[in-house]
Amino acid sequence: MTGAVGDVTSEAGASSVASASQRRRRESFLAWAWSLLRLDFVGIAFAALFFCLSLTPSLLPRDWATGGVIGGINAAIGYGLGVLLGKVFRRLFLSHRDWWPPSPRVIHVLKGVTVVGAIAASLGMVVPAAAWQRQIAAVMGIDGPATLGYLRIAVVAALTGGLLVAAARVVKDAILLLARVMIRRWDINDEVAMFIGTAIVVVLVITLVNGVLVRGFIGGARAVFQPQNATTRPGVEQPVNPERSGSPASFVKWDTLGFQGRNFVGSGPTAAELTELNGRPAKQPIRIYAGLQSADTDDGRVAVLLSELQRTKAFERKLLVIIPTTGTGWVDPVAARAIEAMYNGDTALVAMQYSYLPSWISFLADQQKSVAAGRAMVDAIHQRWLQWPAASRPRLVLYGESLGSMAGQGAFGYLPDVVDMDFSAVLWIGPPNASALWKALTVRRDPGTPEVQPRYDNGRTVRFAQAAGAAEIQQVAADPPWKGTRVLYLQHPSDPVVWWTPDLLFAKPDWLREPPGFDRSAGMRWYPIITFWQVSADMAGNVTSSQASPIGHGHNYGDAQLDGWAAVAAPAGWTAQDTERIRRWLEKAMAAGGPEFQ
């Protein structure tokens, strides 16, 4: 009996010990979770400052959700900076003062004032922020946000910033845990243990981000967008004209062209439409395309293009246009239709796909691939073009938009290469800031000319226009007289694709020192770190679709390609009236909403 009681007592004791152990673990976890919520009050002040500055004007209007995410990111960065500066200041300037630290009552008052002031400043800043967004929207002809609804930005920012601060504290706790383990197990010096722990965690975090998250994101993107590449947009049908790739007479199979390739060759004006438009017999425009599935390699796809050029007798046309595409393989239908209409169908347009990812993902994952593909395409077609008699071969023209512009520029080491290769004209729209040739020309621009519209060598070969309208582009093309090869860049002052660069983190660009262009807010200022994230948000909203911003602003160039073509590659005898006639025809086609414009 005594043994049974002992057993019961022993079991009860063991149960009590286990319960106490579980309680301690639970309390320890709760204490750790609460530590994630406790905030440094110098950090709070800096977080509020960074959040308020993030609400200042940027290139494009932002809705409350986007503004909240960017505000939260900046607030978290400001919080971390405030914590660091606060610790340094206390250690260097306050630790040896007799009056530091002050009494608990003073500390509580200071904390209360900091919290109340930070909240009041953040909420108060939303009111002028909404007004700024309405001003930017008005410049672009759209409606801006209401002040009351824009207050939601504070909620999104608090959630975003809180999650980022909590994640940073988890990383910090992991470093401390590793340091304690090394100190207990190997009796390592505290500073050495912290250094080793920090190095290990930083390496693990970088590996996780670069090796797992980024690759996982890109892999997921491929899984999402690859099936779309195999589909065909409703209303697009396989062409029957032999002048099109993918037709029964073509060397390229219809089902290998990809989503955008099928759109390109399965749409566009017919000879009958162009005859009616121009009042004289037109030719059937040639459109040549190679998709990712048309061959296994870039060289294989280029070989397909060369075969198609030969088959369609493209070198017998008046104009041959090489078009490196954007990330998905897209060719702007406005640009394609405009040049075909100007030459009454006596054209051959040739394009090649190098990715099926949207441009902003391709910029991260396939940037070098796009440049290599563009170089291979341009070099091969140029070499085949040189084999034709100079008196009978077509004018050679290069066109690229967005990432397609960057891919096309990759074919040239420097500007004289364009002239040496006998290109008649080059039109590049919305070039990414990372484009090597664009950057070199901008950096070496003529003294006294602004970055937003630079002039290089007094415009002898290359010129830049803000694409503010037909009159501005015509003026750029006319003054001074433009002879020989013509290279034209069209770039909006509000286009984040053109102006985004990692340098924005810590360096003020020239375009923010200069008077603003026609559609950039005069209230935009540069702030370290903050402006980088603002422009990043502008770009993320634009490059997912060129239609994310109003026509004629941001990365949406509308029908400016027509004016660009008229400036660099107009047929003999072309007039401003001809340009307007083609513009009305394009507007009618876009209003009809055919498959190519969807």
Cα distances (Å, whole numbers) of residue 210 to 81, 98, 202, 204? 24, 48, 12, 10
pLDDT digits (tens, 9 = 90+) for 157-169: 999 999 999 888 8
Residues ≥6 apart with Cβ < 8 Å to 188: 182, 196
Among the listed ranges 122-126, 184-188, 294-298, 388-392, which one has the minimum average pLDDT value? 184-188
**CA end-to-end span of the chain, whole Å?**
88
pLDDT range class, residue 214, cuts 50, 70, 90 = low
Amino acid at 587: E
* Pair 464, 455: CB distance under 8 Å: yes
Residues ≥6 apart with Cβ < 8 Å to 414: 437, 440
Amino acid at 501: T
Rg (CA), the chain: 31
pLDDT digits (tens, 9 = 90+) for 520-543: 999 999 999 999 999 999 988 765
| 217 HSE (CA, 13 A, CB side) | 11
In the prediction, which pLDDT does 228 show? 78
pLDDT digits (tens, 9 = 90+) for 350-403: 999 988 777 667 666 667 788 889 999 999 999 999 999 988 999 999 999 999
- Tokens representing 175 are 């470093």
Query: What's the rounded Cα separation, in Å, for the pair 325 and 248?
Result: 24
Is pLDDT larger for residue 552 or for residue 209?
Answer: 552
Q: At what angle do helices 258-265 and 333-342 cross, to 10 degrees?
A: 30
Q: What percent of the chain shows pLDDT beyond 70?
A: 88
In the prediction, which pLDDT does 490 show? 97
Query: What's the rounded Cα separation, in Å, for the pair 112 and 193?
Result: 36
In the prediction, which pLDDT does 310 show? 96
Which H or E run includes 429? Answer: strand 425-429
pLDDT at residue 8 greater than cutoff 50: no
In the prediction, which pLDDT does 22 show? 65
In the prediction, which pLDDT does 36 show? 47
236-492+557-592 has which CATH code? 3.40.50
pLDDT at residue 290 greater than cutoff 60: yes
* Spans of all domains in the chain: 35-187+513-548, 190-230, 236-492+557-592
In the prediction, which pLDDT does 9 show? 47
In the prediction, which pLDDT does 159 show? 94
pLDDT range class, residue 92, cuts 50, 70, 90 = confident
pLDDT range class, residue 176, cuts 50, 70, 90 = confident
In the prediction, which pLDDT does 582 show? 97
Alpha helices in 343-394 (DSSP H): 359-365, 367-386
Question: What SS3 state is found at 283?
Answer: coil
* Pair 409, 400: CB distance under 8 Å: yes
Residues ≥6 apart with Cβ < 8 Å to 515: 450, 522
* Pair 436, 403: CB distance under 8 Å: no
In the prediction, which pLDDT does 546 show? 42
pLDDT at residue 194 greater than cutoff 50: yes
Q: Within 10 A of 302 (CB to CB), how many other CB atoms are there?
A: 21
pLDDT digits (tens, 9 = 90+) for 41-85: 899 999 999 999 999 999 999 999 999 999 999 999 999 999 999
pLDDT digits (tens, 9 = 90+) for 300-325: 999 999 999 999 999 999 999 999 99
Extended strands (E) in 268-424: 286-290, 319-324, 347-352, 395-401
**Residue with the two structure tokens 């919080």:** 79
Cα distances (Å, whole numbers) of residue 43 to 114, 117, 175, 508? 10, 13, 20, 25
Burial 205-240 (b: 16+ CB within 10 A, else e): eeeeeeeeeeeeebeebeeebeeebeebeeebebbe
In the prediction, which pLDDT does 544 show? 44
For the chain, the average pLDDT equals 88
In the prediction, which pLDDT does 23 show? 62
**Residue with the two structure tokens 């920012």:** 157
What is the length of the chain? Answer: 598
Q: Within 10 A of 73 (CB to CB), how many other CB atoms are there?
A: 22
- Tokens representing 362 are 């391709």
* Pair 308, 252: CB distance under 8 Å: yes
- Tokens representing 105 are 């009552």
Peptide bond into 480 cis (omega under 30): yes
